[in-house]
Amino acid sequence: QVAPEEFKTSVSRVNACLRKNLPVNVKWLLCGCLCCCCTLGCSLWPVVCLNKRTRRSIQKLLEWENNRLYHKLGLHWKLSKRKCETSNMMEYVILIEFLPKYPIFRPD
């Protein structure tokens, strides 16, 4: 079982990463949208790259959290892409899965 403090710390780390990266992504998105017609859409590439970098940062953070604590507890946190329930848009969510338990006392 995960202590509430550990869970809160993990979620706070993910939120801090997002808090650091999202304002920059939004600024680039606004600039990209304003210049989109002049650049034939090329002005949106920085936004795509920044979003990819943010996603990788979150994945690395979750991997670190898994190795530090959650794998020892039989859990695995991962970033997953899924369709929104209310629209056709896609969103990223954090899934917490149970790792299968291996019978260590069963003979080979």
78 in any annotated domain: yes
How far apart are alpha carbons 62 and 75 in whole angstroms? 12
Query: Helices then strands (H, E): number in the chain?
Result: 2, 2
Query: CA–CA separation, 94 vs 82, rounded Å?
Result: 10
Range of the domain at 84: 4-29+42-98
35: in domain: no
Domain total in the chain: 1
Beta carbons of 47 and 88 less than 8 angstroms apart: no
pLDDT reading at 34 higher than 80 = yes
Whether the predicted pLDDT of 81 surpasses 80: yes
Q: Please give the model's pTM, rounded to 2 decimal places.
A: 0.82
- Average pLDDT score, the chain: 89
Q: Return the percentage of the chain with pLDDT > 90, whole number.
A: 55
Average pLDDT rounded to a whole number, residues 22-47: 84
The maximal CA–CA distance of the chain, rounded, in angstroms, is 68
Residue 105, domain member (yes or no): no
106 part of a folded domain: no
